Amino acid sequence: MIVVMPTLTRAEAAERASLVDVESYHVDLDVTGDSETFRARTVTRFRARPGRATFLEFEPAEIASITLNGEPVPPSAAADGRLVLSGLAEENELVVDATMRYSNNGEGLHRYTDPADGSVYLYQHLFINNGGRVLPCFDQPDLKASFRVSVTAPADWTVATNGRLVSRDGGRWEFAPTERISTYLASLIAGPWHVRTDEHDGLPLALYIRATLAAQLDAQAAEIFEVTKQCLDRFHEMFEIRYPFGHYQQAFAPEFNFGAMEYPGLVVFRDEFVPRSTITETEREHRASVIAHEMAHQWFGDLVTMAWWDDLWLNESFAEYLGSRVAAEATRFTGTWTTFAMQRKAWGLRADQRPSTHPVAPAEVADTDQALMNFDGISYAKGASVLKQLVAWLGDESFLAGVNMHFEAHAFGNATLADLLGALSKASGRDLSGWAEVWLRRAQVNTLRLEVERDGDVYREVTIVQTAPDGYPTLRPHRIGVGLYDHVDGAVVRRELIESELDATGRTVLPELAGVRAADLLLLNDGDLAYAKIRLDDRSAAAVPLLLPLLTDSLARAVIWAATLDAVVDGERPVAELVTLVLAALPVETETVIVEDVLRATRGLVDRYATEETRPAALELLAQAADRLLAASPAGGSRQLIAARGLIGATVETGRLAGWLAGEGLPDGLVLDEDLRWLILYRLAVLGAAGVDAIEAELAGDRTATGEQWAARCRAALPDPAAKEAAWAAVVGDASLSNRLVELTAGGFWQPEQRELLEPYVARYFTDMPEMLRIRSGMSAEKTLAAAYPAVMVSASTRRAAAGLLAEPEVNPLLRRVVQDNDDDMRRALLARE
């Protein structure tokens, strides 16, 4: 049965906040019952305006009793996801005893059974509007309260929450009250977790993972603890208020919807962050950045929380910025800004150009449904890019002074955009209202291009031209670097860096370059400070294939690759040119994140931007590039693994892949572990060279959660009518399928090699997805909608089907957004093909 919590509007939240002040929740859970439900007894203490009425979010399976100030409340008061109370006193005590439902979609109290050993694990995720799935609560960020949690669990389980453990008696666990936190930040895990503990600077540390991944955590715990300690030290250097939540625990949970979530005192990550197979340095760096990101939230989001979801950027933009910054400053992963340039900023730029674009800090987020859709590349990556430039403009000392002033004023409370801007303005002596208007309140992105005039070998005039898209005419101030690079003794090195402040007039002449000897490469946005689409001048762009392999600075290479990929996305450069550049430059690339991201992005563009006739040749060139990189990579290193993954995804040489799967012909140093075996089998399944029997045989030897997920993806990828029908039915109608399994089934379904077989499912997407939304909601639904979209079926007929759905008046907002954005991507692909 699906449970859909009702939308809370901003108007309702504001009215309720004017009536109610919440003091505390005492939540007493019993999770020793059946596999469908758990018992929850909650005592809520709150003040209110006497005589008035209000409501709490609440979605019980069955109500045993409700009392308000000792008087019974009829069960009928709880309906449609809300518990309505009237006749409130100044001081109120609400006691509710109810049976609640577990979930399998990552919301509420998620229940998971590990297929490897049958053990059951629980984690609580109350994000945005899911608090009522576990307890009756005032589920909005500005009604903070202290949480005291008690849990009755099986005697062999471990339980952890935000709060400090006070006592344990067999299966009975009692935890201390927390500081005042928002409902969506209340955390809990329970199950036979494997635990590692440590201590740093007076703070108890802990790591949790399910028992079947104990060996993996034991092998990686030293690195995770080291990064955690280094980041804590750096944040304590930056922030005057020390980490404020007593202990710092990190749990790695199965089927978690987010990459991670910043619950104070008990951060929860997807358990993929403790992988069972060989991983690359890029993946280790990503884990370090996410650890730093979630730790930043302990101040930005947990200590000081946004008053409403329109200020989501106060949480995510700051955590995104500090995640990259602190990882680079405090850990061995010093190249995080290169990764940011390649991956995160590109995510923000793409999101900012879609129909669903919105300001970083919108003036109005009407309800919680709209809030969910704003967890995107704009709130994260664009906001972080804007902050990076703001810090450069204000100076780090003024920025940190303003931030610390903000924390001091609003600790354990709530704040708004105006509050933070006021603190930063006071600390820096600068009026930030104009900056905030153009960067935070207005959507979309600018394009910066170089116009170059020469007199022979010297520059006569170099101008940076700024443009804005139709419908979003805002021009913005930018702080930007222009690098002059020369080819010297077999390397391309920077001769000079010109830093410039761009105003909003649209044209900025660089007088420093007049009469200067022309460079072999003129790199706009050198240092990657500006948030903008970057286009090189024609001469520099033409020189890229020759000079890029010789460029010594990894961040400069990342800026060029990002600009090149973006130009292909915009149809300004053909995908064939990109593939040729990949073949020329990627085999000698040393920065793993660049190799990984370029291979991934190019493969996606080949699948959608190349025509039926040109795709095989483009894919062959991409496979050749990966093969050359594989041959040039040190045995056992990250580049070798990335190259192997890229080759597996691009090649059509099924005999070679089958040989690898059998352990034959593997490059020296390449480890054929479980996940590499599955990746090879997945590609063989796509190409029709492996069937159900091979998938089931592989699963028989890997009866784990990851094995089940790979098997679901492989079955959906088979070029077989029966397999496609079974996969589609599972995505659309199987409510028993967990969030991760349905997302991976949808992700394996659409294959560009199978267009003829898949053609009937294009129309079915637009007719069947509304039905899917009857059994799925929230983030799980959004991810499934996106994964199931027929993105590789690039045609005018697919766009017509999308237009038909969008023309309907009553389309679910999540579905409307996914279709609008994917249709816009397809529009670009069709233009590029033309």
9 φ, ψ to 5°? -85, 160
Catalytic choice (179, 294, 591, 698): 294
Active site residue 294: yes
Rounded CA-CA distance 781/812 in Å is: 11
Beta strand residue intervals within 170-265, DSSP E: 172-175, 188-191, 194-200, 203-209, 248-253, 260-261
Rounded CA-CA distance 265/189 in Å is: 12
477 φ, ψ to 5°? -75, 140
CA distances from residue 665 to 384, 462, 472, 660, 661 in whole angstroms, order as listed? 45, 54, 55, 6, 9
Rounded CA-CA distance 143/13 in Å is: 9
Residue 11 CB coordination number (10 Å) = 10
How would you classify the pairing of strands 108-113 and 120-125? antiparallel
Residue 187: both structure tokens together: 């955390």
Q: Is the dihedral of CA 715, 717, 723, 727 positive or negative?
A: positive
Amino acid at 492: V
Q: For every residue of 206-230, which 3-state class applies, written as one string?
A: EEEECHHHHHHHHHHHHHHHHHHHH
- Are 322 and 291 in contact by the 8 Å Cβ rule? The answer is no
CA distances from residue 443 to 439, 476, 478, 821 in whole angstroms, order as listed? 8, 11, 16, 15
- Are 10 and 783 in contact by the 8 Å Cβ rule? The answer is no
Residue 452 pairs in a beta bridge with 462
For the chain, percent helix, then strand, then coil, each to nearest 5? 45, 20, 30
Residue 454 pairs in a beta bridge with 459
Of 675, 660, 663, which Cα lies nearest the Cα of 705?
A: 675
Q: Is the dihedral of CA 679, 680, 685, 691 positive or negative?
A: negative
Catalytic residue positions, numbered: 294
